Amino acid sequence: MARALVEAGHEVSTLQRRASLVDGAQDHLGSVSDPEVVGLAMAGQDAVIHLAAKVSMAGDPAAFEQVNIEGTRTVLAAAQEAGVHRFVHISSPSVAHSGDSLVGVPAEPANPRTARGEYARTKAHGELLALAADSEAFPVLVLRPHLMWGPGDTQLTERIIERARQGRMPILGSGAALVDTLYVTNAVDAIVAALDAVSEVHGEPLVVTNGQPRPIGEIIERFALAGGAPKPKLRIPVKTALAAGTAVEKVWELGEHDDEPPLTHFLAEQMSTAHWFDQRRTREVLKWEPAVSIDEGMAALAAHYGG
């Protein structure tokens, strides 16, 4: 993200736990939970892209709240105090997902009460805080990128490939549920476009995808093959996966873990229900079209892994 902004001609400062290593970007190291370091990083800025979040399938609810709710509150307050006049908040479609299929829907309202899991619940709260801060003097636009993937992505792509290598990547049910995804460079382009759009259109959320729904079983298989792993053969009935996910969550809560649980109820829902979105409003507001198709992205992914 920082590299793309520098290349677009922006003067860029980052706030994150590790240095960006991007030539031309000024790095500030720390957490969005620390008001002092957030204030230092915000000084002199006229636009902010807030991407920081605690992303996990399990964990202490307080840890999610500290980053996704209180961290967002801290960033918003510091931005307003610093005189920032463009704010792009990165959220997630999970803030409006209650477990049922989402078929060709627009960006529906975030709802912490029905969001599934601590990540989605706290991201929903954070999004509502951001939208509540929106005004003509402080315009806020919310983007909800959906299932970002591509070379270098560790949250989704590499986890699927690694589990496929180990023979632990299942297909739930028929694998036919249609899902939207978003290639990583398309996500970056959309966020850069939002910086220009927020001055004119603000106070609303936009789901961002490639606009090419595919069966989730196909996506998983293509990730695995692109990464040099065998095609997943393990298939689990949906009801069995949902029950197993709930059981794994309860066991996971009893101990301390450095890795992600192999399955949760939320993950089983995501892998077995349709979730694809109407992109007309997103493209109208951002004046943006995805430059990389799914097929082109899969080819780039295979090249990244030496295929």
Fold that domain 31-304 belongs to in CATH: Rossmann fold (3.40.50)
pLDDT band, residue 86 (cuts 50/70/90): very high
Q: Looking at the predicted structure, is the pLDDT value of residue 194 above 90?
A: yes
Q: How does pLDDT run across 36-66, given as a tens digit for each residue?
A: 999 989 988 999 999 999 887 777 889 999 9
pLDDT band, residue 307 (cuts 50/70/90): low
Long-range contacts of 183-186 (CB under 8 A, 24+ apart): 183/148, 183/149, 183/150, 183/210, 183/290, 183/292, 183/293, 183/294, 183/296, 183/297, 184/148, 184/149, 184/150, 184/151, 184/152, 184/153, 185/150, 185/291, 185/292, 186/210, 186/290, 186/291, 186/292
Active site residue 183: no
Q: Per-domain residue ranges for the chain?
A: 31-304
pLDDT band, residue 257 (cuts 50/70/90): low
Q: Which residue has the higher pLDDT, 214 or 272?
A: 214
CA dist 110 → 56, 87, 128, 178 (Å): 19, 18, 7, 22
Q: What is the pLDDT of residue 191?
A: 95
Q: How does pLDDT run across 278-296, given as a tens digit for each residue?
A: 999 999 999 999 999 999 9
Q: Looking at the predicted structure, is the pLDDT value of residue 255 above 70?
A: no
**145: region left, alpha or beta (phi > 0 left; psi from -120 to 50 alpha):** beta
- For the chain, the average pLDDT equals 89
pLDDT band, residue 113 (cuts 50/70/90): very high
Question: Which of 87, 119, 149, 288 is an active site residue?
Answer: 119
**Helix axes 72-82 and 117-132, enclosed angle (nearest 10):** 20
**CA-CA distance, 237 to 194, in Å (whole number)?**
40
| Predicted structure pTM score | 0.91
Average pLDDT of the segment spanning 165-177: 89
